[in-house]
Structure 1
Amino acid sequence: MSQVTEKLKYTDALADFVLAHGVSAASLRPMAKAAGTSDRMLVYHYGSKAGVIEAALREIATRNMQDLEAALPPKPLPAKDLMAVLGMVAQSGQFDPVYAVFFELAALALRGDESAKSIGHAVATHFLDWTRVRLTEPERAPELLAAVEGWGMLNGLGLDVPFPSG
């Protein structure tokens, strides 16, 4: 197996581990066990524990965006129409584990964890850029992202609030 193929296999398993157990449980030994390798091999491939976690979170974000892409037409949409598609997917519960991971990452960042802040910033920027190119009004991307994430937070806390309309 090539190093690239091996790394991709590990990344997939790492993402599954983080989705199942969260960011706080993401220590090298349990993650390595889940990936079928050693903690040393993970550091070899990803450079550090932060690199391992970042790779897992990027894979989660990539999967998330691929699932969203499947629900979208190929051309950019007005904010209201994109929000309707995002709402349909978000309200299905499919992304609840993703919300849990990224809210945990945000909480760590807010508590001063610089690694969590850096990783979270990179992933959020990637999703913001993804949203911009799917809108006919790309300047509205931050507003939509804030509305979707805010809804996810309130929904996760058990508040029955309607999904934003865009």
Structure 2
Amino acid sequence: MSKRETKRAEIVGKLATHFLEAGLGDTGVRRLAEVAGTSDRMLLYYFENKEEILAAVLGKLGGGFTEVLDAVFGTEPLRPADAVGKIWAMVRDEATAGQLRLWLDLSSRASRGDPFFGAIVEQMAEGWIVWLSGMLDVPASEKRPLAELIMSAIDGHMVLFPTDLTKGDAAVAKLQDLLRDL
């Protein structure tokens, strides 16, 4: 790895940690440079523009989250009710809370019409739906619709109860009951 690539990786790591802790509140180049411990001029030496910086950081976080999903879910197919239970447990786990809060932050920015964040959210959502579809132990024709239902229900609970996810426990249990016979 070249010196430049090493520095880029270091910057991406610092910014990834910052985004997990603080969200996307201020993504101006000056603030990103401050968090990365460099100047805005040097930051733009390592990256072409702000979008490239954000894409690199979000790509790193997405790859890390995929590793978490693989560790939590393994490779064995799951019944839909079991998938809901595992996803809900993961949502409530403090170890993954930063990634999930960041997801809500990204979704919020996308919903305001930001094309950059809109494209990222659509790509991430599609990746998760495809991933979950592949994990579900149901007939092929039911995989995608069930994955979309599960993801939208879980996301909805995260939006409805952002400060106390335990408020969604009863609804998640009901969803599991409804999906148990599939």
> Which category of TM-score, normalised to the shorter sequence, fits these structures?
0.7 to 0.9
Specify the code of the residue in structure 1 equivalent to 2:98.
P
- Cα 1:128–1:11 shift into 2, 3 Å: farther
Residue 135 of structure 1 deviates from its aligned partner by: 2.0
Partner Cα distance (1:9, 1:30) in 2: 16
Larger radius of gyration: 2
- Secondary structure class of the residue paired with 1:156: coil
User: 2: CA distance between counterparts of 1:126 and 1:67?
Assistant: 14
Give the direction of change, closer, same or farther, for the CA distance of 1:155–1:37 in structure 2 (3 Å limit). same
Check if 1:102 corresponds to 2:109.
Answer: no
Is there any run of 5+ residues in structure 2 with no aligned partner, and where? none
Alignment TM-score, normalising by the size of structure 2 = 0.77
1:16 alignment partner in structure 2: 17
Q: Deviations over 1:30-63 (max 9, x none)?
A: 2223334443444444432122122222222222
Task: State the partner residue of 2:162.
Answer: 156
Cα deviation code 1:106-138 (max 9, x no counterpart): 222222222221222222222222222222233
Query: Following the alignment from structure 1 to structure 2, what is the Cα–Cα distance between the partners of residues 124 and 45?
Result: 29
Alignment-derived partner of residue 65 in structure 1: 66
Report the counterpart of residue 112 of structure 1 in structure 2: 113
Instruction: Confirm or deny: 8 A CA contact 2:91 2:100 kept in the other structure.
Output: no
1:9 is displaced (CA, Å) by: 2.6
Between the two proteins, what is the percent identity of the paired residues? 24
Structure 1: 5+ residue stretches without partners: none
Deviation at 1:157, TM superposition (A): 4.7
Residue type matched to 2:18 in 1?
Answer: F
For residue 94 of structure 1, give the secondary structure of its aligned residue in structure 2: helix
